[in-house]
Amino acid sequence: MISDKKLETALKQYFGFSKFRSGQKEVIRNLLSRESTLAILPTGTGKSLCYQLVGKIYKKPVVIVSPLISLMQDQVEQLRFAGEKKVIALTSVLSFKRKEYAVSHLSQFDFIYLAPEMLNKKEVVENLFQLDLALFVVDEAHCISKWGPDFRPDYLGLGELRRELNFPTTLALTATATKRVEEDIIGNLFGTQKVKVIRHSVDRPNIFLAVEKVANQKEKNKKVIKLVERLKAPGLIYFSSKKKADEIAQMIRQKTKLNVSSYHAGRSAIDRYTVQQQFMLGKLDVICATSAFGMGVNKKNIRYVIHYHLPADLESYLQEIGRAGRDGQQSIAILLYQESDVGLQRRLIDMTLPEDEMIQYYMDNAQKLTGHAGEQGELLDYYRKQGLSSERVKEIFSRRRSDKIKNLNEILAYTNTHHCRRAYIKKYFGEKDNQIHDRSCCQLSGEELPLKELKMIKTEKENIKNFDDNSYQRVIRKLFNL
DNA sequence: CGTTACACCTGTATAGGTGTAACGGTGCTATACT
C-alpha cells in the first residue's frame, strides 16, 4: 500500500499540484490496488489526472477510449504541454503511414487515445494485446448507455474487448449517470465482475435553476433577447435544431450588440474549431449550439445556460447546464419551455429507432446492405453481425423506446414541478437529500423570473468588488423577496 | 406529430382567413473520387 505522502509527492513531481481534489485520491487508490472503478464525479474534479498519475506511477501504457477526435486531440496537447512526449491519438486524422507505424509500435507510447470504432480493426486489437497495460480507461463512459444501443454501437463492444485483453484494471469516468446508466455501464464493461463505484453528487449549488413557460415561439424569442441583454455574459443557448440555432444567433446579432455565433454538426470542422476558440478566448458573448457543443469544453466563467428547446432527458440537461459556473461563481440555468417542444423530442426518438418492419427487413436481407443502408441500416447491421434474432432486436428497440419516453416524461415533470427543482434532480439521480432547500436555489413552477431585477444581478455584480457567493445569495434573496 | 411559414384568396384592406408543405441531433472510420 502506497502512503498518502508518497501519492502527494508523485502528484507534485508529475503535475506540480500539492493537493488532490475531492475524489481523486480515492479513485487512484482503487486503481493502484488493481480494483476496477466507475467514477461518477462532477466536471472540474480533474478526472483525467487520475489515470495519468496511475500510468506515471506504474510506468506502463494506458489506453483511453474517448468519444470525440477533438477531445483526444485536446488531451494529447495537454499531456505534451506537460512534457509527456509518448502520447498518441490513434484516429482517422493520422495519415495512413503514420497510423500504420503507430499501430505496429504501440508499445512505444505511454498514453494511447482511440475511439471505440478503432477497436474494430484487427491489427489494433492484436497490438493492444501485446501490451502490459497499466490501465484501460473509458472516458465519458455514459456514452456506453447513451450512444451505444442506437447511435454508435461499437460502444457496446468494449466489454468484449476487455475480456480479450484479459480483464485489465479499468477506470470508467463520467460526470452524470443515473442508477440506470450506472447499471448499463457496469453491465456492459464488467458483467458480473467486481467494480468499485465512486459517486459524488451531480448537484452544482452555484447554478440557480429556472424554468420559464412560454405560449409560442414569438414570446420565446422575445424572452431570449431580454435574457441575453440582461444576463452577464458569456453564455450558452442550447437548441434541438441546427436551423433554429443559426436563426436565433442571427436574431440576437441583429437586435443586440453582442458577439454571437452558432455551433452544430452542420458547420464545417474549421468553423467549429474557430467558434470554440473565440469563445474560449472571450471574444464571443453567446454561442447558439446543439448538443454537438460542450464535451471537453472547459471554460470556467460561463455565467448562464439557456435551453431554447426541451432537452431529451435530465442527464443531457445536467451535462449541458454543468458547463456553467466552473469557477464556482453564481450562474443560472434557464429552461424555456413551450408545450409543443415535447413533440420535437418525440420525433427525434422516432427518427432514431427503427420500426419493427425495418428491423425484420434488414435482419433478413444481410447481403444486400452494403453501401446504401443508411444510419439505421448500419446500426441493424451491427446487431445482425452479433447473431441476434430479429425478435430479440425488436425487443431491444422497443425497450429503448419506452426508456427514452420515460426519460422524456421525467424532464417534463421537472419543468412542471411545484417543489424544489434541485431536490427533484437529486432524487432523479438517486441521491439522498439532506439539504434544506429554500427558494434561493431555484425558481418554482408558475413563478415568473423577475427580468427587471435580473438586470440588477448584472449591475450589482459589477459594482461589488471581490464578488463572492454570499453577496450573490443576498441579491437572489432580494430578487425573490426572501 | 404539431407548429409554423408562407402562398393564396377575396375583391380592393399595407387585412384577415384558409390551406399546405416543411421541419426536426449526437460521430466514428473507410474508401473512392476530384
Helix (H, G, I), strand (E, B) or coil at A351: helix
Round to a whole number and report the distance in Å from the CA of A262 to the C1' of B7.
Answer: 30
Nearest-nucleotide field for A96 (CA, C1'): B30
pLDDT digits (tens, 9 = 90+) for A283-301: 999 999 999 999 989 899 9
Which residues does residue A171 pair with via DSSP β-bridges, in sequence order?
A37, A137
> Which CATH number fits the domain A207-342+417-479, given the four candidates 3.40.50.740, 3.40.50.300, 3.20.20.150, 3.40.50.40?
3.40.50.300
With CA atoms as reference, report the closest residue to A402 among A152, A239, A186, A180.
A180
pLDDT band at A62 (very low <50, low <70, confident <90, very high): very high
Residue type present at position A456: M
What is the DSSP secondary structure assignment for residue A472, as one 8-state letter?
H
Instruction: Tell me, yes or no, if the two domains A4-199 and A207-342+417-479 fold the same way.
Output: yes
DSSP 8-state code for residue A199: E
Residue A363's pLDDT is what? 84
* First-to-last C-alpha distance (Å) of chain A: 52
Closest nt to residue A114, judged CA to C1': B28
Question: At CB < 8 A and 24+ separation, what contacts does A274-283 make?
Answer: A279/A234, A282/A234, A283/A259
| Distance of alpha carbon A52 from alpha carbon A123, whole angstroms | 25
Q: What angle do CA A41, A337, A415 make, to 5 degrees?
A: 55
As a rounded value in angstroms, the CA-to-C1' distance for A120 and B22 is 39
Nucleotide nearest to A124 (CA to C1'): B29
Q: What is the reported pLDDT for A467?
A: 36
Give the whole-number percent of chain A exceeding pLDDT 70: 91
Task: Name the closest nucleotide to A340, judged by C1' and CA.
Answer: B2
- Under the banding of pLDDT at 50, 70 and 90, the label for residue A316 is very high
Q: Which residue's C-alpha is at the least distance from the C1' of B1?
A: A343
What mean pLDDT do residues A249-278 have? 93
Among protein residues, the one whose C-alpha sits closest to the C1' atom of B25 is A240
From A140-154, A162-176, A431-445, the region with the lowest mean pLDDT: A431-445
Tell me: pLDDT of A370 over 80: no
Instruction: Encode pLDDT of A69-109 as tens digits.
Output: 999 999 999 999 888 999 999 999 999 999 999 999 999 99
Distance CA A338 to C1' B18 in A: 25
Q: Which three cell numbers stand for residue A156?
A: 457496446
**Whole-number mean pLDDT of chain A?**
88
Q: How far is the CA of A271 from the C1' of B23 (A)?
A: 24
Of all nucleotides, the one whose C1′ comes closest to residue A266's CA is B25
Protein CA at A225 to nucleotide C1' at B4, angstroms: 20
Residue A331 above 60 pLDDT? yes
pLDDT tens, residue by residue, A7-61: 999 999 988 999 999 899 999 999 999 999 999 998 878 899 999 999 999 999 9
Closest by alpha carbon to A192, among A165, A220, A162, A213?
A162
Domain ranges of chain A: 4-199, 207-342+417-479, 353-409
Per-residue buried b or exposed e for A294-322, using 16+ beta carbons within 10 Å of the residue's own CB? bbbbebeebbbbbbbbbbbbbbbbbbbbb
CB-based contact A335:A210 (threshold 8 Å): yes
CB atoms within 10 A of CB A272: 20
Count of residues making up chain A: 482
Contacts of residue A198, defined as CB under 8 A and 6 or more positions apart, other chains included, come to A23, A26, A27, A30, A37, A38, A39, A40, A41
Can you tell me the mean pLDDT for A176-189?
Answer: 96
Whether the Cβ atoms of residue A441 and residue A422 lie closer than 8 Å to each other: yes
Strand B: which residues have Cβ below 7 Å from it? A 67-70, 90-93, 114-115, 117-118, 121, 146-147, 150-152, 216-217, 240-244, 264-266, 290-292, 312, 338-340, 343-344, 346-349, 351-352, 375
| C-alpha span between A32 and A27 (Å, rounded) | 9
CA to C1' distance (Å), from A75 to B24: 33
Q: In the predicted model, is pLDDT for residue A460 greater than 60?
A: no
Of residues A375 and A224, more confidently modeled: A224
- Cα dist from A67 to A63, A114, A120, A252, A296, whole Å: 13, 8, 15, 32, 10
pLDDT at A371: 45
Closest residue (CA) to C1' of nucleotide B27 is A68
pLDDT at A411 over 50: yes
Nucleotide nearest to A150 (CA to C1'): B26
Q: Which CATH class is domain A4-199?
A: alpha beta
Predicted local distance difference test score (pLDDT) of residue A481: 36
For residue A45 the three cell numbers come to 474534479
- Quickly tell me which residue has 453501401 as its cell: A371
Residue A343 or A470, more confident? A343
Rounded, the Å distance between the CA of A250 and C1' of B11 is 38
Closest residue by Cα to residue A246 from A226, A266, A231, A232: A266
Residue A465 has what pLDDT? 35
pLDDT band at residue A470 using 50, 70 and 90 as cut-offs: very low
Strand B: list positions under 7 Å from protein Cβ: 1-5, 23-30
A462 confidence band (pLDDT: 50, 70, 90): very low
Q: How far is the CA of A251 from the C1' of B16 (A)?
A: 27
Q: What is the pLDDT of residue A2?
A: 81
Interatomic distance A344 CA / B18 C1' (Å): 25
- Residue A367 has what pLDDT? 53
Rounded Cα distance between A168 and A159, Å, is 11
Which residue gives the smallest C-alpha to C1' distance to B30?
A: A92
Q: Is the pLDDT of residue A63 over 50?
A: yes
Angstrom distance, A328 CA to B4 C1': 40
CA A377, A268, A296, A290 torsion-angle sign? negative
The yes-or-no verdict on residue A412 having pLDDT over 90 is yes
Nucleotide nearest A115 (Cα, C1'): B28
Instruction: Tell me the nt nearest to A147, Cα to C1'.
Output: B26
Q: Which nucleotide is nearest to A292 (CA to C1')?
A: B26
Closest nucleotide C1' to the C-alpha of A216: B3
pLDDT in tens, A201-228: 999 999 999 999 888 888 899 899 989 9
What Å value separates CA A265 and C1' B22?
21
pLDDT of res. A373: 52
pLDDT tier at A466 (50, 70, 90 boundaries)?
very low
Indicate if the pLDDT at residue A452 is higher than 60.
Answer: no
Q: What is the CA radius of gyration of chain A?
A: 23
Å from A217 (CA) to B13 (C1')? 27
Distances (CA, A) of A146 to A27, A29, A45, A284: 24, 28, 22, 30
DSSP string, A111-149: EEEE-GGGGG-HHHHHHHHTS--SEEEETTTHHHHHTTT
Q: How far is the CA of A471 from the C1' of B9 (A)?
A: 61
Q: Which of A462, A454, A461 is nearest to A480 (CA)?
A: A454
DSSP state, residue A175: S
Tens of pLDDT, residues A123-162: 999 999 999 999 999 999 999 999 999 999 999 999 999 9
Task: Check whether A357 has a pLDDT greater than 60.
Answer: yes
